[in-house]
Amino acid sequence: MKGAVWRLQWAVALRRRRLLWWNLLVPALLLVPVALSGAASVHKTVVFTLFVAFFGAYGSCIPLIRDGDSGWSEKVLLTGYGARSWLIERLLASTVLDWVQLIPVSLVLVWLARGRLADAAPVLATLAMALLFANLLGTVVAALVRSLAEAALGCAIVCLVALHLAGVFRTPAADTWAGTAARISPFRPLLEAWRRGASAGPEGWIPPLLALAVAAVFFVSAAGLLGRRMAEKQAV
């Protein structure tokens, strides 16, 4: 891995300051009113998790489609940069950027719920994992669709299914396949961290190692497969 794509992603993101500010402001404008509302905390955390999933998935999918349409992705691959390295660096840069952009609003939400920031660490840690997974979902969608319209629809469907499987919309019984799916979903730890951090829930947090392992395996295997698929897609 040469790191050129990673550096380029950051250079472009930092140069596009307007977009950077929007990505800091929009989450706050959408989520803070929800946090201040009188909705039940279980509903608030669903909204928070849903937002993170969409933020990550759209944030990786749409630029990939756009760069594919403009020919930029093909240009990068034509320099001899490996498709896998290109995709992994892009994904990691996009995930870290998303994470950095969501840190402020996450801290605000935790502070609004509990009046202190001591419980923010689990939220921020699981936020990174959820964003990595959401970015991967967005990349999967980008590899399969042919237009921005399809991408928008695809991201919505894939995210909602993934969130449903994570037990975000309902709590499945632990001894069922749905319970197992929810337990290993990389979105689930974020939901639980929100419930602890952004509500008056129970104290304590156990690192979600299983979900972390699932995210890592999914990331490595998907990046390899998707890199090849994306490279072929740019060619035609």
Partner 1 sequence: MFPSPPVVGSGLTFSYGRGPPVLAEVGLTLHEGEVLGLVGANGSGKTTLLRLIAGRLRPQAGTLAVTIPDPAVVFDRLPFQESLTGAENVRATLALRGRKRAADRQIGERSLSDFGLAQASNQTVSAYSFGMRRRLALAEALASEPFLLLLDEPTVGLDPLGRDSLTTALEQVSARGGAVLAATNDADFAERCCSRVLLMHLGKVVAEGPPDSLIADLEAPTIITVEFTGPGPMGSPPGGLATLNTAPASPPAAPAPASRATEFSSSTGTAALADLCAWFTAAGAEISTVHVREPGLADVLRSVAGVGLEAGHQGMIDAHAAPSP
32 vs 117: CA distance, rounded Å: 16
For 3, left (φ over 0), alpha (ψ -120 to 50), or beta?
Answer: left
> Of the two residues 14 and 40, which places its CB atom closer to partner 1 in the complex?
14
* Cβ-contact 154, 148 below 8 angstroms: no
**Burial readout 99-114 (b: 16 or more C-beta within 10 A, e: otherwise):** bebbbebbebbbbebb
> Of the two residues 35 and 231, which places its CB atom closer to partner 1 in the complex?
231
For the CB of residue 80, give the shortest distance to partner 1 in the complex, in Å. 3
For the CB of residue 1, give the shortest distance to partner 1 in the complex, in Å. 12
> Of the two residues 13 and 110, which places its CB atom closer to partner 1 in the complex?
13
Amino acid 189 reads P
> Of the two residues 15 and 116, which places its CB atom closer to partner 1 in the complex?
15
* Cβ-contact 64, 146 below 8 angstroms: no
For the CB of residue 155, give the shortest distance to partner 1 in the complex, in Å. 23
231 vs 236: CA distance, rounded Å: 10
Length of the chain: 236
Does residue 198 sit in helix, strand or coil?
coil
Report how far apart, in Å, the C-alpha atoms of 225 and of each of 137, 157, 177, 222 are.
13, 21, 26, 5
> Of the two residues 2 and 43, which places its CB atom closer to partner 1 in the complex?
2
Binding residues for partner 1, rule: CB under 8 A, are 2, 4-5, 7-8, 11-12, 15-16, 67, 70-72, 74-76, 78-81, 234-236
For the CB of residue 70, give the shortest distance to partner 1 in the complex, in Å. 4
Report the half-sphere exposure of 133 (CA within 13 A, side-chain side): 30
Report the 10 Å Cβ neighbour count for 3: 10
For the CB of residue 86, give the shortest distance to partner 1 in the complex, in Å. 9
For the CB of residue 18, give the shortest distance to partner 1 in the complex, in Å. 10
95 vs 133: CA distance, rounded Å: 9
For the CB of residue 88, give the shortest distance to partner 1 in the complex, in Å. 15
